[in-house]
Amino acid sequence: MTTSFADRLTDLVAARGPVCAGVDPRPGALPAGLDAVAWAEEAARLLGPRVAAVKPQLAFFDDDWAQVERVARAARAGGALVVADCKRGDIDSTAEAYARRILGPESPFDAATVNPYLGRDALAPFVRWAARGGKGLFVLVRTSNPGAADLQSLRVVGDDGRPAETVAERVARLVDEVGASHHGASGRSLVGAVVGLTAPVDVVARLRALMPDAPFLMPGWGAQGGGVEAYRAALDARGGGALVSASRSLTLPWEGAAPADWQGRVVDALARMRTALG
């Protein structure tokens, strides 16, 4: 039997801490002699044995799946889970093609970020493919960017008699519903949520109440200013269930050109992050 994504994530967080390393190569900051893919592979090899998850962002690889899969395989060699940060979402037939490509048996990815705004039928193929292969999803619920409030904080009235709630809260209910039949032995679901560390603490706590069993992927650490208070508010009743993602502050922790000892600087940044998270 395939071990569930949620159980593998739970075990890795317990062993290594709740850190997800975002691998976003930025040309001006890369070490001399390494292009984007070569650096990303080196960073994934370095962090793969040290963190719970590695998250390459496809946009920084020109949406070239072959390049990103090289990075994924380097990270998996160290035992980390790999999240494809692709934020896909489309009508059901197109979503089926995306889901098969990203989460199918030939793919080295363990999970993907997905956009829920086309609705339940657009999420369904991702859930099916993830369940089939012991993989997972992180659905965009409350993102970390400043413009998140433009839509996600709007209040809507449902047609089922519930009081008005925010768009993010409605999406959270959807995440909980579609993940309800996909729990692992840990009690957590394969359907997780992206909830930014930059969200107000009370918002994070409310979303956790609506998604008690969803793993949270929490971007916004470091450069975006997210803090430990939001992380603590995201912890579930079992005392875990949250994965904190850092990109620039972890994998490129310097200004300007990369130093010769860039790998040591990355390891030091990871140690500081773990200490800050407690």
Torsion sign (Cα): 60, 63, 66, 71: positive
Could you say which of 73, 87, 183, 265 is catalytic?
87
Nearest-5° Cα angle at 79, 25 to 212: 90
Strands (E), the chain: 19-23, 53-56, 81-88, 111-114, 136-142, 155-156, 165-166, 191-195, 216-218, 242-246
Distances, alpha carbon 274 to alpha carbons 119, 246, 267, 269, in Å: 36, 11, 11, 9
Is 87 a residue of the active site?
yes
226 half-sphere exposure, CB direction, 13 A CA radius: 30
Question: Are residues 254 and 229 in contact, defined by beta-carbon separation less than 8 angstroms?
Answer: no
Q: Which residues are catalytic?
A: 87
